[in-house]
Amino acid sequence: MTKFGSMVPELLRNLNTKPVTILYPFEKVPTPEGFRGTPRLKPGECIGCRSCVRDCPAEAIEIEVEKVEAPAAAEGQEAPKPQKRIKVILYLDRCVHCARCVEVCPKNALYMDLEYEVANFTRDALRLVQE
Amino acid sequence: MEYLKIALYILVFPGFLFQSVFSTFLEWLDRKIYARMQNRRGPLYTGWNGLMQPVADIVKLMAKEDIVPAQADRFIFSLMPLVSLAAACTAGLYLPVWHLTRYNSFEGDLIVVAYLLAIPSFCLFLAGWFSVSPFSLIGATRVLTQVFAYEVPFFLALLTPAVLSGSWRIAEIAAFPWTSGAWWAIPLQLLAFAVALLSLQAKLERVPFDIPEAETEVVGGPLTEYSGKKLALFRLQKDILMLVGSALIAALFLGGFGGGLFLGALQLVLKTILVVALLSLVKAACARIRLDQIVTFSWRYLAPLSLIQFFIVLLVKGTGVI
């Protein structure tokens, strides 16, 4: 058994120190290095290979590839190739923030940002469409 | 005019209004000091630094549904919060502040206050007993067991300043250092002061003497079945009991509240705050002890200590210094 009243000096010292409580919605805890927030797409880098879709453990990524008709070729020039329009749809309600998609992306088109306050009222608001 | 004065005395200062306002402030202070000692912040959002939090708690409880268990004795169940609140408030009327009349100061009022301060504990016991719930019953028996442990040291501790000043009148005991100039009487009674402080802590059922409402074992103890307005009254009673008990200790052991209305009221506030801060320190420094440990502690340490103090005072009195 510790001595009776042995905690008193520490208690009195505590009166003069800063509280450890962080007033969360007003003060934020700084995110540590390598923090895995929300996956984001660098615009125009995705080639639509679907590696991330295959590897995602939570099945939270969908990729839609649309073919865009090339404009008509100008006189005497080669016709431009038909372009692809790639839509990456991320379901934040299913995402487990494991950053596996970032690791497997061959073009490094995905990265994790520091956003962690993703709670919302509707499921639709958690459907992130990035192009 | 006389009746108006009495009405003011009972309703405003130091009656119900002052008691309820100041006691909620004391509860805030207690929670704040307790939190700061544990490196927390304490109440924060209601009013300046959470100052209105105890009031908000009571108002919220007032608005909640009030349920009386089907098996409970309806009359006593409803009566007990009122009786205990009334007893605590009435005890507060005998504090030696402002003008003293024959209604609020007479020879022997110390005994009256000590008995009035004992009533809330018995009300708590009856409230738990007539709730007819296992948790309430266990809590109620614990309350009663604890009463027999701390009440005797408390009375013995209150006896010491009475013997020293040779009066049973709180006002005279409080005025004793002022009239006789014997300010050394305050350090002389340090032992009795400590015993009274710990007994008051037990009376208020705060840590380490909170076994009757040990929430991990018996939910809310005697108050398990209480809700709504009745629980709010019990909370207010506990706050007022803390105020009156602390102010009584301040009056008896810390030199009272002499020096006119304003200086007296200021001293009342400051000295009561000091006692409450000490109570918070005890609360923060200890963990809950078992019922048998409370009884052993009271009878093995508190009661002999107060007796030793009593004999010291008798010796001093016998030498004829005073």
Q: pLDDT at position B103, please? A: 67
CB contacts of A2 in chain B (<8 Å) are none
Tokens of B113: 């206050």
Tell me: pLDDT of B320 over 80: no
Q: pLDDT at position A1, please? A: 57
Residue of B37, B40, B44 lying closest to A11 (CB–CB):
B37
Asked if residues B284 and A14 have their Cβ atoms less than 8 Å apart, the reply is no
Alpha-carbon span B242 to B206, nearest angstrom: 10
pLDDT band for position B102 (cuts 50, 70, 90): low
Locate tokens 């719930």: which residue? B133
Alpha-carbon span A85 to A68, nearest angstrom: 7
Asked if residues B267 and B251 have their Cβ atoms less than 8 Å apart, the reply is no
DSSP B22: H
Is A15 in Cβ contact with B36 (below 8 Å)? yes
Please indicate if any CB of chain A lies within 8 Å of the CB of B119.
no
Which residues lie below 8 Å from residue A77, measured CB to CB, with a gap of 6+? none
Alpha-carbon span A16 to B220, nearest angstrom: 33
Average pLDDT over residues B124-147: 91
Q: Of A71, A76, A74, A109, which is closest to residue A90 (Cα–Cα)?
A: A109
Tell me: pLDDT of A74 over 80: no
Is A5 in Cβ contact with B36 (below 8 Å)? no
Q: Kindly report the nearest CA distance between residue A29 and chain B, in angstroms.
A: 16
Average pLDDT over residues B208-231: 87
What pairs with residue A85 in β-bridges?
A66
Alpha-carbon span B146 to B149, nearest angstrom: 5
Highest mean pLDDT among A43-57, B161-175, B227-241: B227-241
CB contacts of A22 in chain B (<8 Å) are none
Tell me: pLDDT of B24 over 80: yes
Span between the terminal Cα atoms of chain B, in Å: 40
Q: Kindly report the nearest CA distance between residue B34 and chain A, in angstroms.
A: 9
Q: Of B183, B175, B180, which is closest to residue B322 (Cα–Cα)?
A: B180
Assess: ipTM above 0.85.
no
Average pLDDT over residues B300-310: 92
pLDDT band for position B99 (cuts 50, 70, 90): low
Q: pLDDT at position B221, please? A: 85
CA angle B183, B189, B192 (to 5 degrees): 150
Residue of B36, B281, B284 lying closest to A19 (CB–CB):
B36
Is A20 in Cβ contact with B44 (below 8 Å)? no
- DSSP, collapsed to helix, strand or coil, labels residue A65 as strand
Asked if residues B164 and B322 have their Cβ atoms less than 8 Å apart, the reply is yes
DSSP B298: I
Q: Of B222, B216, B221, B193, which is closest to residue B309 (Cα–Cα)?
A: B193
Average pLDDT over residues A8-30: 87
Cα Rg, chain A, nearest whole Å: 25
Beta-sheet pairing, A127-130 with A83-91:
antiparallel
Number of Cβ within 10 Å of residue A9's Cβ equals 10
Q: Kindly report the nearest CA distance between residue B289 and chain A, in angstroms.
A: 13
Write out residues 274-303 of B within 8 Å (CB-CB) of A.
Answer: 281, 284-285
Lowest mean pLDDT among B57-61, B104-108, B144-148, B202-206: B104-108
Q: pLDDT at position B240, please? A: 94
CA angle B43, B48, B49 (to 5 degrees): 30
Locate tokens 């379901």: which residue? A91
Tell me: pLDDT of B316 over 80: yes
Q: pLDDT at position B88, please? A: 92
pLDDT band for position B214 (cuts 50, 70, 90): confident
Tell me: pLDDT of B31 over 90: yes
Asked if residues B37 and B281 have their Cβ atoms less than 8 Å apart, the reply is yes
Please indicate if any CB of chain A lies within 8 Å of the CB of B188.
no
Tell me: pLDDT of B80 over 80: yes
Is A14 in Cβ contact with B36 (below 8 Å)? yes
Average pLDDT over residues B52-57: 92
CB contacts of A23 in chain B (<8 Å) are 41, 44
As a whole number, the mean pLDDT across chain B is 88
Average pLDDT over residues B99-118: 82
Cα Rg, chain B, nearest whole Å: 20
Cα nearest neighbour of B286 on chain A: A5
Average pLDDT over residues B303-308: 92
Q: Of A22, A40, A25, which is closest to residue A115 (Cα–Cα)?
A: A40
Alpha-carbon span B229 to B235, nearest angstrom: 10
Locate tokens 């009757």: which residue? B212
Tell me: pLDDT of B186 over 90: no
Reported pTM: 0.83
Q: pLDDT at position A30, please? A: 85
Residue type, A49: C
Average pLDDT over residues B166-178: 85
Tokens of A119: 């709670």
